[in-house]
Amino acid sequence: MTKLSKLAADVALLWDNYSGAYLNGVRNTLLLALVATAIGCLIGLICGILQTIPCSRYDPPLKRFFLGLLRILIRIYVEVFRGTPMVLQAVFIFYGLPYFTDNAMRFSSVWAAAILIVSINTGAYMAESVRGGIISIDRGQTEGAMAIGMTHVQTMTHVILPQALRNIMPQIGNNFIINVKDTSVMFIISFTEFFAFHRYITGVNNMYFPSAAIEMIGYLCMTLVASFLLRWIEKKMDGADNYELVQNDSLTLTAGTYTHPTRGTPFDESNRVRAEEGGVSHG
């Protein structure tokens, strides 16, 4: 018990002195994770869409060649960035750019470097998630859209992608939460996110454990809020569980100017009513 109260006192002490630094770290972490996840999702979306462009043996050879090339390039990108640690990618890109250009090109800000690295990393994972999301949509949806004359682009934007995006929402959430935590490796290029401030603060006063406690609670708070928000967004995307029946009266008003054929089917209530009333909407 005394240990716990000592921890509480230490945490309070740290918080009193460094709350600004910790909060600054939280802000940087969240900003980086948000921006990089958004850009990463965009990269993933583009890669996923490009990879699922239909290609049949009836297509012209040039189209088939370019689609094949595109698929190979995306595959290489995914495998390289998914298969190497992000901390190494950070070093590789951040120091590699000036190395290869003899210092002619370098990252002007550590923010730009961090966003770039986390984005392309997230993009590699999302490319596969989006591809999976698109091919998980029943083939019938595509056929239904094509049967009413929609082009591939229209089918994708209006029918397939809205449903695929709904299905990969949990995956987007996963990536965001992973990014909140994994951006901590960006200290390697001296990006000052939440964990970097832990290193600075403990470097001054050696209070490793109390500071780690603050960090643990901080990260957990960020990820819990994120999970909660993501669940809420998913629910919103699903729409209402129930629906309202529309009364025939209001419908007749909306569709009143259309000329109906007088015949109706046995279950065609409004047609029957209209016929009985002497064809109100036919004139």
Partner 1 sequence: MDETILQIRHLSKSFGSHLVLRDIDFTVSRGDVTSIIGSSGSGKSTLLRCINLLEQPSSGEILYHGKNVTGRGFRASTYRAQVGMVFQSFNLFGNMSVLENCVVGQRKVLRRGREEATEHALAFLDKVGMAPYIHARPRQLSGGQKQRVAIARALAMDPEVLLFDEPTSALDPEMVGEVLGVMQTLAGEGTTMLVVTHEMAFARDISTRVVYMNNGLICEDGSPEEIFRSPKRQETKDFLARFRRVENP
Sign of the Cα pseudo-torsion (226, 231, 236, 238, in order): positive
Q: For residues 82 and 105, give the distance between their C-alpha atoms in angstroms, rounded to a whole number.
A: 26
CB of 232 to partner 1, least distance (A): 19
* Residue 16 touches partner 1, criterion: CB under 8 A: no
HSE value, Cβ hemisphere, 13 Å, CA-based, for 170: 3
- Nearer to partner 1 by Cβ, of 159 and 207: the residue is 159
- 103 Rama sector, left if φ>0, alpha if ψ -120 to 50, beta otherwise: left
* Residue 245 touches partner 1, criterion: CB under 8 A: yes
* Residue 70 touches partner 1, criterion: CB under 8 A: no
The 3-state DSSP class for residue 13 equals helix
Tokens of residue 235, six digits: 């629910």
- Nearer to partner 1 by Cβ, of 4 and 148: the residue is 148
* Residue 273 touches partner 1, criterion: CB under 8 A: no
* Residue 58 touches partner 1, criterion: CB under 8 A: yes
CB 77 within 8 A of CB 49: no
Taking the CA atoms of residue 65, residue 69, residue 71 and residue 75 in that order, the dihedral angle to the nearest 10 degrees is 160
Size of the site for partner 1 (CB under 8 A): 44
* Residue 205 touches partner 1, criterion: CB under 8 A: no
* Residue 162 touches partner 1, criterion: CB under 8 A: yes
Residues that bind partner 1 (CB under 8 A): 56, 58, 138, 140-141, 143-151, 154, 158-159, 162-163, 166, 239, 242-248, 251, 254-255, 257-258, 260-261, 263-271
